[in-house]
A = this chain, B = another copy of it.
């Protein structure tokens, strides 16, 4: 009368038990970007994952960007896009448009979470003074309204979590003269995770993790101590765009985050896979002195 598939299901749920227990009431900051923000199925997967984390007792915070959507709109209204050393130069008009686009994306994510029966609150870095920023200096020229985080006031996030909302944040903030600045979402997620001493900080992007051999997709490293990660940068194994990402990870750990993950957003449910399976997925950067603990896996 009870079929095998249902019995298997029950088994999977029971296997999730130690993970649920371990992260109960812990803060998990998820930086959400890349393909998983565009592909309709992946997008829904991410929302389901994060809603599930919320419902089983974790405290997830979603921080999102929206680069491709911004580009779509600058194109639409004929704004020229300049880059300086790989960074988009953000003039006043682009800044205004970027804030508009990100705010709308934010409300779409809020809608999706609400539709799954969980209360969401979408905010920017301005609300409650969450992010304090100033103009980012670049040695190569004026980047325009690109901001760098100088402080985090976590109270609005704490208030929302206490009242059981899932906070969804887009990284636009103001400086002391009330100018709006666009902040890199990785940087914002990292700053928030540090301020809240998050248990986990997960970067969900189009990167499958750190490879030992850049040419070999099967050479992804599961786990790296911060020291090892620093060595790999020095040895030239980690290169290019991965370098700032990994530095950001190392920094986050040194400032109080327990564990940082680089997850491949192109894999369905990569967030759940990381949290609810022994092998995890992608690359984890971990504290140096906790070997034994992590051998058991987190």
Binding site for B on A (CB under 8 A): 1-2, 6-18, 20-21, 24, 45, 48-49, 51-52, 55-57, 76-77, 96, 99-101, 103-104, 106-107, 110-112, 114-124, 126-129, 155-156, 159, 163, 165, 172, 174, 178, 180, 208, 217-218, 220, 267-270, 272-273, 276-277, 279, 281
5 CB < 8 A contacts A-B: A13-B52, A13-B272, A103-B106, A110-B126, A119-B129
Is the beta-carbon distance between A14 and B122 smaller than 8 angstroms? no
Interchain nearest-CB distance for A250 vs B (Å): 24
- In the complex where A127-B122, A208-B1 touch, is A20 in contact with B55 (Cβ < 8 A)? yes
In the assembly, how many copies of this chain are there? 6
Interchain nearest-CB distance for A169 vs B (Å): 12
Is the beta-carbon distance between A277 and B119 smaller than 8 angstroms? no
A-B pairs with lowest CB-CB distance, top 8: A103-B103, A10-B269, A100-B100, A10-B272, A12-B12, A159-B163, A21-B117, A100-B104
Interchain nearest-CB distance for A157 vs B (Å): 11
Q: Which residues of B contact A101 (CB under 8 A)?
A: 100
Interchain nearest-CB distance for A49 vs B (Å): 7
Is the beta-carbon distance between A114 and B126 smaller than 8 angstroms? yes
Is the beta-carbon distance between B123 and A128 smaller than 8 angstroms? no
Is the beta-carbon distance between B114 and A52 smaller than 8 angstroms? no
Is the beta-carbon distance between B123 and A122 smaller than 8 angstroms? yes
Is the beta-carbon distance between A1 and B121 smaller than 8 angstroms? no
A268, B14: Cα distance in complex, Å: 11
- Please give me the residue from chain B that is nearest to A277 by CB atom: B6
Is the beta-carbon distance between B12 and A13 smaller than 8 angstroms? yes
- Please give me the residue from chain B that is nearest to A9 by CB atom: B12
Instruction: Identify the interface centre among A111, A117, A267: most chain B CB within 10 Å of its CB.
Output: A111
Instruction: Identify the interface centre among A2, A45, A76, A279: most chain B CB within 10 Å of its CB.
Output: A2
A163, B157: Cα distance in complex, Å: 11
A9, B96: Cα distance in complex, Å: 37
Q: Which residues of B contact A2 (CB under 8 A)?
A: 267, 270, 273, 281
From B51, B155, B217, B279, give the contact of A17 (CB < 8 A).
Answer: B51
Is the beta-carbon distance between A13 and B111 smaller than 8 angstroms? no
